Amino acid sequence: MRIYESTRDKECKASASSAILNGLAQDGGLYMLRDLEELKIDLNAILNLDYYEIAELVLGKLLDDYSAEEIHDCVHAAYEHKFEAEDITPLVKVGDIYLLELFHGPTSAFKDVALSILPHLVTTALKKHGVDDEIIILTATSGDTGKAALAGFKDVENTKIMVFYPEEGVSAVQKRQMETQAGSNVCVASIKGNFDDAQSSVKQIFTNHELASSMKENHQQFSSANSINIGRLTPQVVYYFKAYADLVNRNEIKLGEEVNFVVPTGNFGNILAGYLAKQMGLPVAKFICASNENNILTDFIKTGIYDRNRDFKKTLSPSMDILISSNLERLLYLLCGCDDKQVSQWMNDLQNKGKYEIGEQLLHVLQQDFWADCADDVKTKAMIKECYEANGYLMDTHTAVAYAAAMKFKEQQINDKKLIVLSTASPYKFVGSVYEAINNQHEEDEFALMNKLNTLTGVDIPKNLAHLNEMPILHNNHLAKEEMEQFVKMKLEEKQW
């Protein structure tokens, strides 16, 4: 059996299923596997497999204390009849590059791929370990995670989920998606303040020992659905292999030929999943890390200096507005030869000085696999318009940031391998910005705009968004951040939500 170890203290170990239940390692580090090259996937063998079968193969290796039958059941429960695309993550040729569409799940963002299966991995782990506690998922969200987690955990036995979002920090579509969430185990509240206020209050509630022990008596425990959990990271490895198999099957590349993946990046989860795929044998030349104006990762990949002493910017790609990319810690761990002392040092520096530096030698190793670029809002909108006019293909703002990086990469002729851009959201999810980009007009009513954009472009509105404004509002909790803890305690007393 493979054992996950903490990036900050490798003596802190857990099986895959325990790591999924724990979320974060006890020492505050992230669970990681070493020697991934021992988990090679036979590329020839995946060519004839569908998404489900590739998922079973990849997850079977990465989460190897689950039985084949358990993985099979989780994969099917997660994806069957839940995605609007039959092959789950379609690969579309646009001009001379490819877009890997990850947004056909229940909430139209790529986070659905992982959050559809996480609840099943959690409940299976509970059964394996004979734990009969009810799991309470607490999540602070800047938009996409909250809705995808609600949809994933809705009516899942032995779980409840509570989501807090900043009142002024999410798009009208995102807000309505959360307010209308049905289910007997879900709870949604908006917070007066920004995302950081919601996030720090959630962390405080998480680490309240008194609350934790009284919950234990009532057979309840908290857990987390954010992307530090390996149950969110590992399902994202699957679509990298699927995209590659699609390219070979369509004779776009030869088996074994290297490709580049371009990833719009925030918390570094998606792109790291690609790096894991490469360790498991996927032929990748470069991972192109694309950022918006919060371009801390672009600077890091170019200089080896991670410096968060800078202003946080609100952009048109809000799911990438982030200054601390948690999953980067996992990459650092692998790059420095699993040196937990070294990673702890860097993370301490980040905590205390807001900055760390990895040095020339390691930077060189990093740059063999990664290249980076960033795009501001003006460039983002220009890309949406340009791609639409040239190819009739409509992208969301996050995907457009990656598209911009792909174009720059091509222009600079870094290599001539095929480019696959990961498309992380439906354009309808960020309809205000997308409409403005192609039509130069700003309009307030996002729901009316969906129909206008549909008429203008002929691109279908995803089913889950089409009738959103006619759905009943089921959640009407508005809290000051000081009220959150009391609110959580009150909800913990209620049998059904």
| Interface ranges with ligand PLP (CB under 6 A) | 109-111, 144, 227, 264-270, 319-320, 398, 424-425
Nearer to ligand PLP, 15 or 325 (CB): 325
Nearer to ligand PLP, 126 or 273 (CB): 273
| Contact yes or no for 289/301 (Cβ under 8 A) | yes
Least distance between ligand PLP and beta carbon 217 (Å): 36
Chain centroid to CA 95: how far?
A: 27
Closest Cα to residue 294, out of 308, 279, 283?
Answer: 308
Nearer to ligand PLP, 24 or 320 (CB): 320
> Phi and psi for 358 in degrees, rounded to 5?
-95, -10
**Token output for 13:** 């170990």
Nearer to ligand PLP, 20 or 421 (CB): 421
Nearer to ligand PLP, 111 or 175 (CB): 111
| Contact yes or no for 185/161 (Cβ under 8 A) | yes
Q: How far apart are CA 178 and CA 372, in angstroms?
A: 33
Least distance between ligand PLP and beta carbon 266 (Å): 3
Q: How far apart are CA 166 and CA 194, in angstroms?
A: 5
Least distance between ligand PLP and beta carbon 274 (Å): 10
As a whole number of angstroms, the longest Cα–Cα distance in the chain is 62
Least distance between ligand PLP and beta carbon 339 (Å): 24
**Residue 213 CB partners (closer than 8 Å, separation 6+):** none
Least distance between ligand PLP and beta carbon 356 (Å): 19
Closest Cα to residue 242, out of 416, 378, 56?
Answer: 56
Tell me which residues are annotated as active site.
111
Least distance between ligand PLP and beta carbon 157 (Å): 27
Nearer to ligand PLP, 22 or 270 (CB): 270
**Residue 238 CB partners (closer than 8 Å, separation 6+):** 51, 54, 55, 58, 59, 113
Nearer to ligand PLP, 267 or 315 (CB): 267
Q: How far apart are CA 473 and CA 178, in angstroms?
A: 9
**Residue 127 CB partners (closer than 8 Å, separation 6+):** none
Q: How far apart are CA 269 and CA 235, in angstroms?
A: 11
| Contact yes or no for 334/369 (Cβ under 8 A) | no
Nearer to ligand PLP, 110 or 346 (CB): 110
Least distance between ligand PLP and beta carbon 40 (Å): 24
Q: Tokens 């950022």 belong to which residue?
A: 291
Least distance between ligand PLP and beta carbon 361 (Å): 26
Closest Cα to residue 144, out of 390, 398, 340, 386?
Answer: 398
Nearer to ligand PLP, 144 or 179 (CB): 144
Least distance between ligand PLP and beta carbon 108 (Å): 9
> Is 250 buried (19+), middle (13-18) or exposed (0-12) by CB count in 10 A?
exposed
* 3-state secondary structure string across 337-389: CCCHHHHHHHHHHHHHHCEEECCHHHHHHHHHHEEEEECCHHHHHHHHHHHHH
| Contact yes or no for 319/291 (Cβ under 8 A) | no
Separation in Å, CA 200 to CA 70, 78, 141, 204: 35, 30, 11, 6
Residues in the chain: 497
Nearer to ligand PLP, 124 or 294 (CB): 294
Least distance between ligand PLP and beta carbon 437 (Å): 16
Q: How far apart are CA 143 and CA 170, in angstroms?
A: 6
Pairing status of strand 370-374 against strand 284-291: parallel
